[in-house]
Structure 1
Amino acid sequence: MSNSACLNCIDLSEPDIHKSVSLLKQACEDSGFFYVVNHGISQELVDEVLAQSKRFFDLPLKEKMKLLRNKKHKGYTPILDETLDPDNQVHGDCKEGYYIGVEVPEDDPRSQKPFFGSNRWPSSDVLPGWRDTMLKYHEEALEVVKSISKIIALALDLNAEFFIKPEILGEPIATLRLIHYSDEVSNPEKGIYGAGAHSDYGLITLLLTDEVLGLQICKDKDAQTQVWEYVPPMKGAFIVNLGDMLERWSNCIFRSTLHRVIVNGQERYSVAFFVEPNHECVVECLPTCKSAANPPKFPPVTCSAYLSQRYKETHADLSVYSGNGV
Structure 2
Amino acid sequence: MAAPASEAAAMAAAKMATLNCISLSDPDIQKSVSFLKQACLDSGFFYVVDHGISQEFMEMVFAQSKRFFDLPSHEKMKLLRNKKHRGYSPSLDQLSDPENQVLGDYKEGYYIGVEVSEDDPQAVKPFYGPNQWPSSDLLPGWRQVMEEYHKEALRVAKDVVKLIALALGLDAGFFDKPEMLGEPIATLRLLHYEGDIISNPATGIYGCGAHSDYGLITLLATDDVVGLQICKDKIARPQTWEYVAPLKGGFIVNLGDLLERWSNGVFRSTLHRVVIDGREERYSVNFITPI
The C-alpha deviation readout for 1:157-205, integer Å capped at 9, x for no partner, is 0001101133421110000000000020111111000000000001010
After superposition, residues 42-81 of structure 1 pair within 5 angstroms as 42-81=54-93
Match of 2:236 among 223, 228, 248: 223
Question: Could you tell me how far 1:251 is from its partner in structure 2?
Answer: 1.2
Specify the code of the residue in structure 2 equivalent to 1:248. R
**Structure 2 CA distance, aligned partners of 1:250 and 1:34?**
18
CA deviation profile, 1:289-308 (whole Å, cap 9, x unmatched): xxxxxxxxxxxxxxxxxx5x
- The answer on 1:246 being equivalent to 2:263 is no
Task: Determine which of 17, 31, 51 is the counterpart of 2:43.
Answer: 31
Residue 270 (structure 1) aligned with residue 284 (structure 2): yes
Counterpart residue type for residue 56 of structure 2: E
Aligned to 1:117: 129
Q: Which runs of 5+ in 1 are unaligned?
A: 277-306, 308-326
The range that moved more, 158-167 or 91-100, is 158-167
* Preserved contact between residue 178 and residue 184 of structure 2 (Cα < 8 Å): no
Root mean square deviation of aligned Cα:
0.7
CA deviation vs aligned residue, 1:274-297 (integer Å, no higher than 9, x gap): 001xxxxxxxxxxxxxxxxxxxxx
Task: Give me the whole-angstrom Cα distance separating, in 2, the residues matched to 1:167 and 1:249.
Answer: 12
State the TM-score, normalized to the length of structure 2.
0.94
Aligned mates of 1:91, 1:268 — CA distance in 2: 20
- The 8 Å contact of residues 30 and 255 in structure 1, kept in 2 or not, is answered as no
Q: Which string of whole-angstrom CA distances, capped at 9 and with x for unpartnered residues, describes residues 94-116 of structure 1? A: 00000000000000011111111
Q: Which amino acid aligns with 1:109?
A: P
Q: Once the two structures are superposed, what CA deviation does each residue of 1:214-235 show, in whole Å capped at 9, x if it has no partner?
A: 0000001111111100000011
1:17 aligns with 2:58: no
Contact 2:92/2:103 (8 A) holds in 1:
yes
1-structure distance, mates of 2:266, 2:180: 20
Q: Does 1:237 align with 2:250?
A: yes
Q: How does 1:1-326 map to 2 (within 5 A)?
A: 1=12, 2-183=14-195, 184-265=197-278, 266-276=280-290
Q: Which amino acid aligns with 1:117?
A: G
Deviation of the 1:238 alpha carbon: 0.3
Tell me the equivalent position of 1:322: none
The answer to whether the 8 Å contact 2:215/2:257 transfers is: yes
**Residues of 2 paired with 1:88 and 1:166: CA distance?**
38
Gap regions ≥5 residues in structure 2 = 1-11
